[in-house]
Amino acid sequence: MDWEQIEARLDLLLAEKRHGQMRGALMMVNPVDIAEYMKKLDAEKLLLMFRILPKDVSAEVFSYMDPDQRETLVGSIADKEITALISDMFVDDAVDFLEELPANAVKRVLQNTDPQTRAIINQFLKYPENSAGSLMTIEYCEFAPEMNVRDALQTIKETGVDKETVYTLYLVDRQRKLVGTVPLHKALVVDVDTPLLKLVDPRVIAVNTLDDQEVVADTVRKYHLLSIPVVDGEGRMVGIITSDDIMDVIEEENTEDFEKMSGLAPAEEPYFKSSMFKLAWNRLPWLMILMLASVLSGAIISRFESVLAVNILLSASIPMLMNTGGNCGQQASTLMVRGIALGEVQFTDIMKAIWTELRVGILVGFALSMVTFVRLLMLNQASVLIALTISFSLYATVVIAKSIGCALPLVAQRLNIDPALAASPLITTLVDAASLLIFFGIASHLVMA
C-alpha cells in the first residue's frame, strides 16, 4: 500500500471517528510519517490524534513535529501530559524542543518535569548554542572496564530499550574517564567470558562539550562513526552525539553555506514562516554592498569611453566577458568552499590550488576564446584586430577569474572568516572589475594604437 492510500485511510478513520481502528492503523506507520501526516491537521484534530497514540509512540512522533505544531500541543495538553511527554523523550530531543519554545512555554514545561530531569535539561540548556554539549544525549551504554561480554550483553538487554543507541559500548573508569570503546558486533562474535578490555579500541576519538557542531560533524565524517563520545574540560565522559543529530548538523551547515554563497544572511526560520521584512533584511545588506561595489565597474567603463566609441562590437562584448568571468570564478570558488568544508583543502595549499586553477583556466580559456574568435569573424564580420582583442581579453579574464575564485575562500579561511562569504556574488563583483580592466587595457594598446 503506497502512502496516498495510507493517508486516505487515515483521513477516513479520522472523519468517521473510529478511534480504535485509527490507533491500530497508526501503529503500522513510521513515527516520521505520522508527524508528516499531522502537518495538515488543524489544532483540534492534531490534539485528538496525538492523544490516540500510545504514550511511547507519541513522544517519538513529537520529536519529529515542526516547532509550530509542538507549541500548539504544549498549549493544549494538560500539565500531567507534559510531564509524561518529556519523561518519554530522549534528553537531546527534549532540549532541542525547549530551545525552540518561547520563554513562558519553557517555564511551564520545566515546572511539570521531575526534579532530576529538570536538572539535566537545565544543564544542557547552559551549553552554547551549536556546541557539542547542546547536541549530545546521556542515553548511551556505559560499562566498567572490568566487565566481561556476558555482563555487558545482559546490561544491554536490561537497559538498552531506554538508550538512544546500543551499537557502541563505552568503557568508563571510576573517575569517569573514557578508557575506550567496543563496537557491539565485536562483543557478539566472541566468547561471553571475554573481558571487555581485550576488545577495547584504546584510540579514543572524542569531542569536547564546547567544540562547535561543525567540528563534531567533520570528526564523525572523517572517522565514519555511528556516534561520538563527548568529554568535559577534564576529560570526563558526559554524553554522546549520534549520527542522526550529525546529519541534521551537516544539513544545517550546508544550507548556511549555500545562503552565504548567494549573498543571503542565514535564515533561522523556514521560508514560508519568515516575514517579508525578515526575508528582505536577510538579502538587503549584501545587495547594498554589491551594488556600491559595482560602481567600480561603471567608473572603469566611463574612464575608457573613448575605446568603446571605436567599434560597437567592443561595447557588445562587455556583458559576455563579465558573465563568463563571473561564472568561471564562481566555479572555482564553489570547489574551494566545498573542499574546505570536507577538509580536503587548507590555506597552506593555496599556491597548489592557484597553480591547478591557473592550468585549468588556460585550457578552458583557450577553448572559449577560440570559439569566440571564430564567431566574431564569421557571424559578426569583425576585423581580425577586433576579434583578436575580444578573444584575448576573454582568455585572460578566464585565467584571472579561476585564480581569484580559488584564492579568496582560502584567504578568508586564513582570516577566520567563513569561506562561503568570499564566494559568489562577491567574487563575481571582483571578477567583473578585473575583466573590464583587462579588456580595456588590451583594447587601448591594440585598437587605439
Identify whether residues 53 and 194 lie together within a single domain. Answer: no
What pLDDT score was predicted for residue 195? 92
* Domain boundary, last residue among 91, 126, 161: 126
Alpha-carbon span 143 to 176, nearest angstrom = 10
User: Helix and strand tally (H, E) in the chain?
Assistant: 22, 6
Compute the average pLDDT of residues 108-116: 74
pLDDT at 249 exceeding the cut of 70: yes
Percent of the chain exceeding pLDDT 90 equals: 17
pLDDT at 312 exceeding the cut of 70: yes
- For the record, the C-alpha cell of 285 comes out as 545588506
Alpha-carbon span 434 to 423, nearest angstrom = 16
Nearest to 340 by CA among 427, 271, 284, 406: 406
Compute the average pLDDT of residues 396-413: 89
Identify whether residues 113 and 162 lie together within a single domain. Answer: no
Look at residue 256 and tell me if it is in a domain: no
Percent of the chain exceeding pLDDT 70 equals: 88
Alpha-carbon span 343 to 322, nearest angstrom = 31
* Domain boundary, last residue among 101, 126, 151: 126
What pLDDT score was predicted for residue 422? 66
Compute the average pLDDT of residues 359-383: 91
Give pLDDT tens digits for 188-216.
999 999 999 999 887 889 999 999 988 89
Domain count for the chain: 3
Which residues are CB-neighbours of 286 under 8 A, at least 6 positions away? 263, 264, 265, 425
Cite the DSSP H helix spans in 224-349. 243-261, 276-303, 305-308, 312-341
Query: Would you list the DSSP string of 409-420?
Result: HHHHHHTTS-GG
The single residue listed with the C-alpha cell 594604437 is: 449
Say which range, 150-159, 403-412, 423-432, has the weakest mean pLDDT: 423-432
Compute the average pLDDT of residues 433-443: 84
Compute the average pLDDT of residues 382-391: 88
Are 434 and 322 in contact, with CB atoms under 8 Å apart? no
| CATH number for position 193 | 3.10.580.10
What pLDDT score was predicted for residue 22? 85
Look at residue 301 and tell me if it is in a domain: yes
pLDDT at 360 exceeding the cut of 90: yes
pLDDT at 151 exceeding the cut of 80: yes
The single residue listed with the C-alpha cell 500500500 is: 1
What pLDDT score was predicted for residue 63? 81
Identify whether residues 116 and 210 lie together within a single domain. Answer: no
Identify whether residues 43 and 109 lie together within a single domain. Answer: yes
Angle CA(229)–CA(133)–CA(412) in degrees, nearest 5? 100
Look at residue 263 and tell me if it is in a domain: no
Identify whether residues 96 and 167 lie together within a single domain. Answer: no
pLDDT at 284 exceeding the cut of 80: no
pLDDT at 61 exceeding the cut of 80: yes
Identify whether residues 187 and 322 lie together within a single domain. Answer: no
Compute the average pLDDT of residues 65-85: 78
Which comes out higher in pLDDT, residue 254 or 37? 37
pLDDT at 371 exceeding the cut of 90: yes
Say which range, 56-65, 182-191, 231-240, 406-415, has the weakest mean pLDDT: 56-65
SS3 400: helix
Are 397 and 438 in contact, with CB atoms under 8 Å apart? yes
3-state secondary structure 155-176: HHHHHHHHCCCCCEEEEECCCC
Compute the average pLDDT of residues 270-277: 68
What pLDDT score was predicted for residue 437? 86
Compute the average pLDDT of residues 129-135: 86
| Structural element, H or E, at residue 208 | strand 207-208
Give pLDDT tens digits for 17-41.
888 888 888 888 888 888 888 888 8
Helix axes 79-88, 55-64, angle to 10 degrees: 80
pLDDT at 364 exceeding the cut of 90: yes
SS3 383: coil
Enclosing domain of residue 305: 271-446
Identify whether residues 306 and 375 lie together within a single domain. Answer: yes
What pLDDT score was predicted for residue 84? 77
Look at residue 252 and tell me if it is in a domain: no
Identify whether residues 377 and 292 lie together within a single domain. Answer: yes
pLDDT at 143 exceeding the cut of 80: yes
Alpha-carbon span 435 to 416, nearest angstrom = 28
pLDDT at 237 exceeding the cut of 60: yes
Identify whether residues 309 and 419 lie together within a single domain. Answer: yes
Give pLDDT tens digits for 347-357.
889 999 999 99
- For the record, the C-alpha cell of 209 comes out as 562539550
Which residues are CB-neighbours of 43 under 8 A, at least 6 positions away? 72, 76
Compute the average pLDDT of residues 247-275: 70
- For the record, the C-alpha cell of 15 comes out as 472523519
| CATH number for position 369 | 1.10.357.20
Are 143 and 172 in contact, with CB atoms under 8 Å apart? yes
